[in-house]
Amino acid sequence: MSDRVRLLSDEGIARFAAYLAALRAGSTDSPPFSLLTDPVTSREADATAFVERGEFSNRYDFGTYLVEHLVAFNQPMLSRNHALWTWLALYYFDQVCPKRADGTRRPGEDARHIMPAQFNWQRVYRQLVRESWFAVRLNGEIVKPLLAGDLATRGDIIEQCSGRQTIISNPVIMAAVCDLYINPKTGRPRKGTSGKEGGSPRRLSLVLQQLDLTFDLWASTSQQVVALLPAEFEEWKETAQAA
């Protein structure tokens, strides 16, 4: 059964935040799905779109679904629509924050679910539902291996990329990231990608930010971007070339 996409009101967002706080305190209450349609806690969106609570095998499939089903919205404005993304986070809460065997949930910080009203990239990118949509909308199938986890899981690589707008919004760079850190045979991250040492995805985001000041990375190929990386990435570059 499909449901029309709505927006959470300030009251709805406040109640959702209170529910998240209760979960962190050990509550086993069910998600307050009534907030999604209550006229006090939600309102109609400025475009007509419908979604369903299907079972998504990974974040890439989920992001692709959202790209297809939210096409009626003005896309630049949609990216900043905190009330819509927060509504969707609650709508898909059973998948974004599944119940554990003991009935509790681990919601993490509010930013994983509630997008701030005042746009701030350092907070906005943490919202799980929007991140899946944003990565797929800008990069398409390139990011498929980076969104291979379930809806509740954010991988280390995509987290480092999403934290910097100039990286996540550039398909060339995202292709280079996959060349370096994804095993093409398995489609999974190579060993060692979660570290902080030289050559790690965490370091890559900083290095690419510096290179972007000197080189036109948008006009490059993914191979050219990889070739520009300094010596600390040599091991990763050799592995990528061998693959």
Provide the token pair at 125.
């990118």
133 close to 142: Cβ distance less than 8 angstroms:
no
Top-confidence residue, 213 or 7: 7
The torsion angles phi and psi of 51, rounded to 5 degrees, stand at: -135, 165
Chain segment 107-117, per-residue pLDDT in tens: 999 999 999 99
The total of other beta-carbon atoms located within 10 Å of residue 22's CB is 14
Predicted confidence band of residue 242 (pLDDT cuts 50, 70, 90): low
Chain segment 73-94, per-residue pLDDT in tens: 998 899 999 999 999 999 999 9
**pTM for this structure?**
0.92
Predicted confidence band of residue 121 (pLDDT cuts 50, 70, 90): confident
Q: What is the pLDDT of residue 243?
A: 61
146 close to 178: Cβ distance less than 8 angstroms:
yes
Mean pLDDT, range 4-24, rounded to an integer = 98
What is d(CA 197, CA 164) in angstroms, rounded to the nearest whole number? 19
Q: Which residues of 211-223 are buried (b: 16+ CB within 10 A; e: fewer)?
A: bbeeeebeebebe
Cα-based torsion angle of the residue sequence 75, 78, 79, 84 in order, rounded to the nearest 10 degrees: -150
Bridge partner list, 6: 44
